[in-house]
Chains A and B, each alone.
Chain A
Amino acid sequence: KAGVTQTPRYLIKTRGQQVTLSCSPISGHRSVSWYQQTPGQGLQFLFEYFSETQRNKGNFPGRFSGRQFSNSRSEMNVSTLELGDSALYLCASSGGAVTSTGELFFGEGSRLTVL
């Protein structure tokens, strides 16, 4: 069974640009969550999508947005990039249903560097 796939794995952008990151969850998983990981702030929750609807949202500015498609694949977008957006962006999938185990399966992340 394939794991969570994130693309691209590495990217470099300049301030003011925008970026789109993609995540393909484990087959059958309907929930996709996004986390930002930085040395200073650690792992912080961005948002969670379930069946194409945003179910939970973290405390990030509106420059951070996401969406989920009917096949459960998800994208997140960051507009008007700032230096502080440099981070590892992790996507995690889970069954998402109340009866699921709750385990999150993380991808290897997309490392964004903003210059």
Chain B
Amino acid sequence: GENVEQHPSTLSVQEGDSAVIKCTYSDSASNYFPWYKQELGKGPQLIIDIRSNVGEKKDQRIAVTLNKTAKHFSLHITETQPEDSAVYFCAASREYGNKLVFGAGTILRVKS
């Protein structure tokens, strides 16, 4: 079945450093790849997404890259801040936002 692998499971960085989270998907028909951030006691919130016809997308300190040939995509956060500390999930789907297959999540800790 469809599967999304996410690494690392935990990531600790110093404030100001960059953080990179990587995901690999199995379903070659996937064409939509969102990243969600979940803070304690809250539901996941979309931070950035990318579609299969785009190789890279950037939004201020956050960027996502997609390699369809290798079936992997990555989240890059630059100049990390303490408020970036949360659990990050990658996901993949064949359609816009529906039936997302999520990765296992990465706990990001930004130390000040």
Contact = CB atoms under 8 A, between A and B. Distances in A.
Given A42-B105, A104-B34, 6 more contacts: A43-B105, A55-B98, A98-B96, A102-B49, A102-B96, A104-B44
B43 A92 contact: yes
Contacts of B102: 35, 42-44
Interface of B (DSSP majority class): loop
Given A92-B43, A102-B34, A107-B43, A45 B101 contact: yes
Given A43-B89, A102-B34, A103-B49, A33 B43 contact: no
Contacts of A75: none
Interface in B84-99: 89, 91, 95-99
Q: Among B42, B46, B105, which residue has the most Cβ atoms of chain A within 10 A?
A: B46
A106 B97 contact: no
Given A42-B104, A43-B89, A59-B1, A102 B43 contact: no
A12 to B, nearest CB: 18
B26 interface: no
B89 A104 contact: no
Interface of A: 4, 31, 33, 35, 42-45, 48, 55-56, 58-59, 90, 92, 94, 96, 98, 100-104, 106-109
Contact of B43 (A31, A48, A101, A109): A109
A103 B97 contact: yes
Interface string B42-54: 1111100100000
A103 B93 CA distance: 12
Contacts of A48: 98-99
Which 6 A/B pairs are nearest by Cβ-Cβ distance? A106-B43, A102-B96, A102-B97, A43-B102, A56-B99, A103-B46
A59 B46 CA distance: 24
A46 to B, nearest CB: 10
B42 A108 contact: yes
Contacts of B42: 108
A110 B109 CA distance: 26
A42 B96 contact: no
A28 B18 CA distance: 38
